[in-house]
């Protein structure tokens, strides 16, 4: 490690406050009204829309925006899996971030629609994780007690 990197590393680690996003610093969390204004509410660690199709994850490194798929830990243990994630860095003023968030959510919604697949049995459309096989959804496969053709 050369001297400059050593100094930067020292500054980085000795000032953890500098890593905290401006919008989440202090008692007033300015991001909450932005997220609520976009129709999102907290759900299992994410901010999601009412239909649970889009999600925003908050972290010290910024915001991660994506559409919500279903993943499976085991055949009986589904979990929410974010897809096509966009990373947004939190900004000192809320307006640009609200604008970027709106764009990222719209892109995520478009991407989700592109990934929906049709069930041959119920004619509904589902995210990939809700499909049992190529041609039918989990609900139809369970109801009919068979695997998809
Ligand atoms: Zn179906």
59 CA distance to ligand 1 middle (Å):
36
Please tell me the distance from the alpha carbon of residue 65 to that of residue 98, in angstroms, as a whole number. 12
Report yes or no: 83 and 100 within 8 Å, Cβ to Cβ: no
Q: What is the pLDDT of residues 116-135, one digit of tens each?
A: 999 999 999 999 999 998 89
Q: Which long-range contacts (CB under 8 A, 24 or more apart) does 99-102 make?
A: 101/34, 101/35, 101/38, 101/56, 101/63, 101/65, 102/38
Give CA–CA dist 123/85, Å, rounded: 28
Average pLDDT over residues 80-109: 91
Report how far ligand 1's centroid is from the alpha carbon of 126 (Å). Answer: 9
Distance 141 CA to ligand 1 centre (A): 7
Kind and range of the H or E run holding 139: helix 138-144
Mean pLDDT value of segment 61-77: 93
Work out the percent of the chain whose per-residue pLDDT is above 70.
Answer: 80
- Select from 80, 44, 84 the least CA-distant residue to 64: 84
pLDDT, tens digit, 9 for 90 and up, residues 13-58: 444 444 545 555 555 678 899 999 999 999 989 999 999 999 999 9
Measure 133 CA to ligand 1 centroid, in angstroms: 10
Q: Give the residue with greater pLDDT, 76 vs 50.
A: 50
pLDDT cut 90: percent of the chain above it:
58
- C-alpha 70 to ligand 1 mean position (Å): 15
Instruction: Tell me if the pTM is above 0.85.
Output: no
């Amino acid at each position: 490690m050369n001297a400059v990197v050593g100094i930067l590393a020292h500054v980085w680690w000795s000032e953890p406050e500098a890593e905290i996003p401006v919008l989440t610093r202090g008692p007033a969390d300015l991001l909450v009204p932005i997220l609520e204004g976009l129709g999102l509410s907290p759900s299992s660690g994410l901010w999601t829309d009412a239909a649970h199709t889009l999600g925003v994850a908050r972290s010290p490194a910024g915001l991660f925006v994506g559409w919500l798929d279903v993943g499976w830990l085991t055949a009986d243990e589904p979990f929410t899996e974010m897809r096509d994630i966009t990373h947004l860095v939190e900004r000192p003023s809320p307006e640009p971030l609200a604008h970027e968030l709106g764009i990222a959510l719209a892109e995520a919604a478009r991407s989700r629609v592109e990934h929906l697949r049709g069930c041959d049995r119920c004619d509904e459309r589902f995210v990939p994780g809700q499909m049992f096989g190529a041609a039918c959804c989990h609900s139809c496969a369970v109801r009919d007690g068979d695997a998809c053709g």
